[in-house]
Structure 1
Amino acid sequence: MKKHLLIISCSESKNPNPGMLHAMERYTGAWYGVINKLKKERKFPDNLDILIISAKYGLINSDKNIENYDWKMDESRARELRDSVISKLKNILSKSKYESILINLGSTYMEALYGFEKIIPDTTKISILKGTIGPRKRDLRSWILSIK
């Protein structure tokens, strides 16, 4: 089964429950609503991995346990995280071969991924969502549903 990768940002809106929660449970923003709805409808593919760029934690797996926090990503923090983010992504890509990668990040979060193209295999199709939230939610949903 071919594997696919989604890279998204953390969200300002979070589940306020105390203690540790999986990142997918902690974040409650727009992208997480799309993903969780598809999971609830049993339409989320098993061969799709999710990585999250977090202002606090850097690049994390979606199942990482995290606490509630209130950090905001800015360009300075994104540049500070860049080497770590690229290094972790390179390590992940060395262990898993992905047919496609969808990047759904705002411009500030993209700063943390600057130069990522150099580490992506030529055989991997890269798509980057741009624009306003509505069309990006629609395109994210369509991309996830297109995975076989």
Structure 2
Amino acid sequence: MTGLCVAQFKRAIVSPALAHIGLDGDAAVNLLTGTALVESGLTYVAQVVAGGTGPARGLWQMEPFTHDDIWTTFLSDARLASLRGAVLDLLSRWQSRVAQLPGNLPYACAMARLKYYRAPEVLPAADDAAGQCRYWKSNYNTSLGAGTADSTHIALFQQAIEA
């Protein structure tokens, strides 16, 4: 059970956000939908840890350090002015950038896509749930994260593909 309808989330949030920044396509849309499913169950906007909440925020559970690093070491590159402008289009004016991760879904989606965009590997095929899950584990959750590329998580990526 998830907090949001997966198909609506995929069509109304993920697909338009990725199209706006020019980093869309079926593989990316399925990957970002699956990532939100495994990271938050499309329910939690603050990381749930024993004893309270952790630093990760939003449906993609991005940590502030990761968010800020994308702005500092990647989007600051003058060659990426068009991409930076597209991401800035998604921001509201009343909160800091990192504070928008929980409530500004298109912005949070774009930032999660940029984390993947910086990965050296090519995106797995749009219909490869196991490959997308492994890609998530190695490039988003990383070896330091608690997630695993197991059958439970693969099933969530399959759900994203079928939505």
Please, what TM-score do these two structures have when normalized by structure 2? Answer: 0.24
| Structure having the larger proportion of residues in strand | 1
| Structure having the larger proportion of residues in helix | 2
Please, what TM-score do these two structures have when normalized by structure 1? Answer: 0.26
